[in-house]
Chains A and B, each alone.
Chain A
Amino acid sequence: MMDPSETDNFNNQWKKAFENASETPPPSVWEGIEARLDRDENDIIPLWWRTPKLWYAAASIIALLVVGGGFWLNNKNSGNFSGQGSVEMASKQPDVKQDSKNLNEELSDFPVADTNKNEPFIAKSQPEVEKSSDQNERVAAIERKSEKTSTPDKPILDKINSAGGERAIAKAKPIKESDLIIENKDINEGNLAAEIASVKVSALKEKEGASIADLKPQEAIAAVENEVMEINALTPMPYNELAVYMQKRYVFFKPEIVKEEKLPELKKSNEYWAGVGIMPATFNPDVQIKEAPTAFSALQNSRQKSLNGTNKAGNSFALQTQGGMRLSKHWSVEMGLSYLKGNSQYEGGGYVLDPANARSTNVLENAMVSLSDKAALNYDASSGGFGQTLANTVYIEVSKNIGNNYQYLQLPLQAGFTLNPDKKLSYSVLGGMMANFFLSNELETASGDVIRTTASDEVYRSLNWAATTGLRLNYKLATRWKASLMGSYQRAVSSGFRANQSMESHPYLYGVSWGMLYSF
C-alpha cells in the first residue's frame, strides 16, 4: 500500500516538472492549422460587414471627406491666403529683424546645399518682389513648380550663397527665378521663415546692388512676408492624407485573399457487401396451351377442352448469392447468382386413350412431345409409343395432375433504396431485372414417366427475362454482419417457350428469403 504523503510528493514533483514545460512545435503545425482554417472560412460569410463599428467608421470617413472636400474647395476658390500667413508672419517679424543684423554671416552659414539633398517640399521664390504684386499669380507659379520633383537649379543657389562677394556676376546674370528647397518637413515654421527671410534679403541686396547697410529692415520684412505667404499657401494640403487613413482602415478589415487551392477530392467510401440466402417460394410456370396437340386436335370434343388446363404453383426454393455496392447514403446496386428449383403441377385438359395399346397421354405431355423430337424419342422409348394410329383414340375428360418442374439459373440486377441505412434495422426497396437461364424442365406423367427437356432441345428459350421487385428488412447483427428477410416477386416479361410454339409460359414467383450479409 502506498503511503499517501509519499504519493502526493511523487505526483507533486511530476506536476512541478511539467507545470511550465514547453516544447516548440515545428512550423508545419501552424501551416497545417492555417490551411484548415482557410478551408473552413471558404464557407463562412465574413462577419466584418455586419459589424456596426465598420459602418460607423465608414460614415465618419464619408463625413470627414465631405467636410474636408468642401473646405478644400472653398480654399481653392477663394485664393486668399492672407489670413493665416499674415498672423504667422507678424509673429515671426522680431526674429527676422534680429537675424538681419548678421546677414552676411548667415548667408555663408545657410545650409542651402543641405536642403538640396531632399526635396519633399519645394518653394519657389522670385526676387522681383516689388514688381510682382499679384499673389494669385505667384501661387499658381508655386503650384506649377511644386510639381517638379527633381532638384532645382543648384548653380542658382550657389550664386545666392556667394552673393556677398561677387556682385559682378549677379549683375551680369540677374536672377530671374530662384528655387529654394526646404527639405525637412518637420522644420518649424519660425526657423523656416527666418531662413527664407535671410535668403531673400541677400537676393534683394544682390539685385539692387545695395549694401547690407542700405537695406531697410522693413523692406526686407515686407519682401520676406510675401515669400512666406507663398510657402504658407502650400500648407493646407493635409487632406490628402485622409485617403491614406481610409485605406488603412480598409486594409485592416479586408479579408485575406485566399489562394484557391485544389482540395484533394474526397475518396468516396463505397461499401460493398456479399450475402447468401435461401428462398422458399411458390413457383407457377403459367403454361398455356394455345393449340390442341395432335392427338387432341383429331377429336372434336377434345379440341377445346384440352385447352382448359390450369397451373398450380408448387413448393419451390432458390439458393441465392448476392453482391451489392452502396452508391450513396440510400442508393445501392445489387447483383447476384441464384439457383431456382421451381415445382408446379398442371391440372386438367383431359387425356387421350389409345385402346389399341391401352396407353393414355395428357394434353401437356402430348404437346411437349410434339414440340421436341428428343422428348418424343424419350417418351416413345419409355411408354412404348403413342398415337401411331389416331383413328381409334378416345378423349377422357378427367382432371389429373402432372408434375411440371423447372430449374433455372438466375442473374438478378437490382437497384435498391434503403431507409434508415445506418440504423440497426433498415429497410430496402429493390427493383430490377433478372436474367433466367433455362436449365431443364421435367414433366412427370401420371404413369410415372418423365419427359425431360433441356436447353439444348430448343423448346424453351435459353434466356428469359423477368422483372423483379422486393422489400428487404436488414437487421444489423454486428459491425459487418446483417441478417436479412426479404419478400420478393418475380414475373417473366416474355414467354419461356421459343416463338411460334403452340405453348406459352410466363412463370412468376412469390418468395420469402432469409439470408446473411457481410459488409466489407
Chain B
Amino acid sequence: MTFNEQELVNGCKQRNRLAQKQLYDVFGGKLFAICMRYTKNRSDAEDVLQDAFIKIYENISSFRNDSPLEYWLRSVVVNTALNHLRQQKYLKDLDDIEVYENGIADREVTLGDFQMQQLMGLIQELPPGCQVIFNLYAIEGYQHNEIAQKLGISEGTSKSQYARARGILQQKLNREKRFDDGSVRNRQL
C-alpha cells in the first residue's frame, strides 16, 4: 500500500503507522544525509534523525501545504541538528575570528571530481562552528543575518566562520587533488 504525498501527510496526522513508516522510507535517506553533514559521526547523526522524525510526527499537523513537504522536513531536521549541537555545547564558543590568507592562490577545484562520501568527510572534519555555518550558508542557502539570528551570534562571526570553513575546505580539496596527480605526489615525496 503506497500513499501519495498528501495521503502521507494525512496518514501521519492520523498517526497511521503505515503512513509514518512510508514517510520515513521515502525521506529518511535524504534527511539522514543532512544529519551527517551537521554532526561529527554516524552515531550522532542517527540520534538527530530519530529526534527529528519524532518531532515531524508530533508536529505534522502544523505543516501547511503552501510549501513542499520536503522543505518542511529539511527545516525540522536542521533545527533538530542545531538543538543537538547546542546540547553538545558545540556552538558555545563561536567567536569572530580572523582569517589569514595563506598567500598561495589555490587553483579552482571542481567538486565533480570528488565523491559525495569524500565531501561529507571534509565537512565533518571542519571545526564545529565552521561546520554548522558552512552548512547553513553554502548548502542550506541561509543569509548571514539569518544565521546570526538563528545561532544568536553576530553577523560578522557568521561571515568569518564561513570564510574560515571555506579556506579549510579549499586547502583540503587542493591537497586531495594534488595527491591524485602522480607527478605532484612524487615531487612532494
Contact = CB atoms under 8 A, between A and B. Distances in A.
Interface of A: 2, 6-7, 9-11, 13-18, 20-26, 28-30, 32-34, 36-37, 40-41, 44, 47-48, 256
B29 to A, nearest CB: 4
A23 B15 CA distance: 26
A21 B28 contact: no
Given A37-B17, A37-B54, A41-B15, A25 B28 contact: yes
B116 A21 contact: yes
A20 B46 contact: no
A26 B46 contact: yes
Contacts of B20: 37
Interface string B17-46: 100110010001110110011000000001
Contacts of B37: 18
5 contacts: A14-B111, A15-B139, A30-B28, A32-B50, A33-B54
Contacts of B166: 2, 7, 10
B57 A25 contact: no
B156 interface: no
A47 B116 contact: no
B36 A33 contact: no
A391 B166 CA distance: 109
A25 B51 CA distance: 13
Contacts of B29: 22-25
B45 to A, nearest CB: 8
Contacts, number: 85
A48 B20 CA distance: 16
Nearest to B170: A10
A33 B32 contact: no
Contacts of B138: 10-11, 14-15
A34 B15 CA distance: 12
Interface string B129-149: 000000001110100000000
Contact of B33 (A9, A23, A41, A47): A23
B49 A47 contact: no
Contact of A36 (B54, B114, B139): B54
Given A2-B163, A23-B29, A36-B54, A17 B116 contact: yes
B54 A18 contact: no
B97 interface: no
B110 interface: yes
A33 B30 contact: no
Contact of A30 (B21, B30, B119, B163): B21
Nearest to A24: B29
Contact of B50 (A10, A13, A33, A48): A33
B53 A33 contact: yes
Nearest to A7: B166
Interface in B154-177: 163, 166, 170
A182 to B, nearest CB: 35
B14 interface: yes
A32 B52 CA distance: 12
Contacts of A18: 33, 37, 116, 119, 139
Given A2-B163, A22-B33, A37-B20, A28 B54 contact: no
Nearest to B138: A11
B15 A28 contact: no
A249 to B, nearest CB: 15
A17 B169 CA distance: 14
B24 A33 contact: yes
A44 B120 CA distance: 40
Contacts of A6: 108
A23 B42 CA distance: 10
A214 to B, nearest CB: 62
A312 B3 CA distance: 88
A17 B117 CA distance: 10
A112 to B, nearest CB: 42
Contacts of B111: 13-14, 16-17
A351 to B, nearest CB: 74
A22 B70 CA distance: 13
Nearest to A2: B163
Interface string B102-130: 00000010111010100110000000000
